[in-house]
Amino acid sequence: MEEERHSNDSPLIYLIVLCHNSKKWLHACLNSLVQTSYCNYRILLVDNYSSDGSIEEAQLLFPSIRVIRNSSNLGWCQGNNIAIQEALNEGAEYVVLLNSDLKTEDPLWLDALVEFASANREYGIIGCTQYEYDSVGWTKLNSWTEYILWSGNREAMFMDDTDYGKPIENAYTISDLKNSKHLDCYFVQGAAMMVRGDVFQRIGMFDEIYFMFYDEVDFCRRARWLNIKTALIPDSRVKHVGAGHTSSSKKNRLKRNFYYSRNKYIYVFTDITFSVKRMARITTRLLYHDIKDALGEKEDISGIGQLFSVLGSLLRCVPRIMYKRNQDKGQIKKEMYLSNW
């Protein structure tokens, strides 16, 4: 079976599954992936220092799947970057990033991605349509897909800027999802994202300043700055828990809230297209909501103490933020120079 997958002329695809203490979902994830109908793919399982026996079980049940075992939890960005580099070194034409709390019940999910990507080279990043993990059939979209339909290809911070409080216009509908081969979207969630290999050569890897959260949004933004398009593919369907491990305990939820809250500010501060006025306006609104959240519902900020921790971490990140801004500007200038050569 493994040999058959690698023996034809179809593009070589690497499926990279990042895992950290994901025993609850990993077996279902890998079991669904090995039933993929596409004929030329390899699975690379990346372990971020799991301690729940998930990797040992995976190696026993799926001996043909290669495993990279990291000596610590490197986070989503660095963990995936290590595997992406290995895949590219081994000739991968496309890389598909998959969270371990995801499963595929449609064997043709990968065929749909490859078919679209091969016919539409201007799209370098495409994603699967995600459904609720425990839903029956393909009836209930998950929150990320609903967000993409609702936002209608607007940039990630549009509701925290001048459009705040206004009705959403030009949003996608369920009919659009059912009747379209693709829907342009501002970013593709890293839980089920396919990237053409040369995109990494042009814009670099995932920026490890994020560790997790907003990393894929930043990646897609850098791609769009270089006119690389991103899209959702309705015919490629997966089921995804969403924040599986990061919601599994109070400690993990605190960690999730910290990075999610901190990284949205990093994302704003590193947008080289924002004016100072716009950046200040967005930051003020984000901070207002975070203070309100910390004092009230504690949905994204777990309290005033964590808010101060987030702000302190931001101050320490200032040199890295400035470095990233200069790096992104340099990449755009380099691309413009090469395109005019």
pLDDT digits (tens, 9 = 90+) for 170-195: 789 999 999 999 999 999 999 999 99
66 plus 208 within the same structural domain: yes
Cα separation, 146 vs 215, in Å, equals 20
Where in the sequence is the domain holding 131, given as residue range(s)? 2-243
φ/ψ of 149, rounded to 5, equals -65, -45
Together in a domain, 188 and 271: no
- Say if pTM beats, i.e. exceeds, 0.75: yes
Residue 333 per-residue DSSP state:
H
59, 47 Cβ separation under 8 angstroms: no
Q: In this structure, are residues 167 and 152 in contact, taking their beta carbons and an 8 Å threshold?
A: no
Give the pLDDT confidence score for residue 252 in this predicted structure: 85
pLDDT tops 60 at residue 169: yes
In a shared domain, residues 47 and 153: yes
Task: For residues 260-282, give the mean pLDDT.
Answer: 94
Please state the rounded mean pLDDT for residues 277-292: 92
The domain that holds 116 is classified in CATH as: 3.90.550.10
What's the domain count of the chain? 2
Q: Calculate mean pLDDT across residues 261-289.
A: 94
Task: Note the pLDDT of residue 332.
Answer: 87
User: CA 322, CA 159: separation in Å to the nearest integer?
Assistant: 25
Q: Which of 26, 32, 36, 28 is nearest to 2 (CA)?
A: 36
Per-residue pLDDT reduced to its tens digit, 136-164:
999 999 999 999 998 888 888 876 655 55
Residue 88 has pLDDT above 90, yes or no: yes
Residues 206 and 327 in one domain: no
| Shared domain check, 132 and 39 | yes
Domain end call among 243, 275, 299? 243
What does the pLDDT look like over 104-131, one tens digit per residue? 999 999 999 999 999 999 999 999 999 9
DSSP-assigned letter for residue 234: E
Q: Are residues 27 and 145 in the same domain?
A: yes
Measured distance CA(33)–CA(238) in Å, rounded? 10
pLDDT value of residue 333: 84
Residues facing residue 194 across a β-bridge = 96, 126
Same domain, 273 and 287: yes
Residues 107 and 129 in one domain: yes
For residues 66 and 111, membership in a common domain is answered with: yes
The last residue of one of the domains, among 192, 210, 243, is 243
pLDDT at 1: 38
Q: What is the pLDDT of residues 233-257, one digit of tens each?
A: 999 999 999 865 555 578 888 999 9
Mean local confidence (pLDDT), 29-56: 97
Phi, psi of 339 (to 5 degrees): -70, -25
For 308, the 3-state DSSP assignment is helix
The verdict on 111 and 256 lying in the same domain is: no
Residue 166 has pLDDT above 60, yes or no: no
Is 256 found in the same domain as 205?
Answer: no
- Express the helix, strand and coil content of the chain in percent, nearest 5 each: 50, 15, 35
Half-sphere exposure (CA, 13 Å, Cβ side) for 114?
A: 22
Domain final residue pick, 190, 218, 243: 243
**Beta-carbon neighbour count of residue 283 at 10 Å?**
16
Kindly state whether residues 149 and 287 are assigned to the same domain: no
Compute the mean pLDDT over every residue in the chain, rounded to the nearest whole number. 91
